[in-house]
Structures are given as structure tokens and as C-alpha cells.
Amino acid sequence: MALPNDPVAPEPMVANPERAALTRLRAEVVAAREGLATALDPAAKKMGDGKTWTGPTAAKNWAAELTGRKKNLGPWVDAVIAQIDAQLRTLPDKVTTSEARIFHNDQRIGHY
């Protein structure tokens, strides 16, 4: 039986704070996904009505750029979610109290 201050006694395990932080981030991104994915829809609609921009070359180039970015927003958000999921899969549910403390200290001084 290990004594309370025994240096070889196993450290208590706690919920992984990095996992918790990423889980919260994922929930925020998922909640914002629809708004992010459709953020350029109003601008694209205005460009499509033909009254927003004067000058055919600039309008055509800008409309093409806007349409391309509009199509990519949803997949970009999905890629962020996939990256968060990939990182979550690498993290254990529990860490030692020392590991949790290191994470909290890094958060406080801005390393993450």
C-alpha cells in the first residue's frame, strides 16, 4: 500500500481538460455551421440580380469569386469539424492531475 506522499504512488486520474475543450469547440462549430455555410448567400443573391455592381468585367469576376467561395464555405466548415474529430480520437478520456495542470497552465499563458 502506497503512503499519501509516496513518490511512486500512482497519480489520480481526472477528466482530460483538452478533450473537454475540443468537445466544446466542436459543439460551437457544429452549432454555427449552417450560419457559416450560408454566410455568403445574401451577397451572392445580390450579385445575381445584376444591380449590385457596375462594369461587366469586374462584376463577372467578382460574381465568379463569390460563387466559388460560397460553394466552399460548407465543406471548409466540415473540414474543421473533421480535424477536431481527428484530434479528439487521439486524446484519452482521462489524464493524470499533473497533465491536466499543464494543460490549464498552457491555456492560461496562451500556448494553445
How is the chain split into domains, by residue range? 35-109
- Full-model pTM: 0.74
Q: What per-residue confidence (pLDDT) applies to 89?
A: 98
Handedness of CA 77, 82, 87, 93 (dihedral sign): positive
- pLDDT tens string, the chain, 112 residues long: the values are 456 666 677 899 999 999 999 999 999 999 999 998 888 888 888 877 777 766 667 777 888 888 888 888 899 999 999 999 999 999 999 999 999 999 888 887 875 5
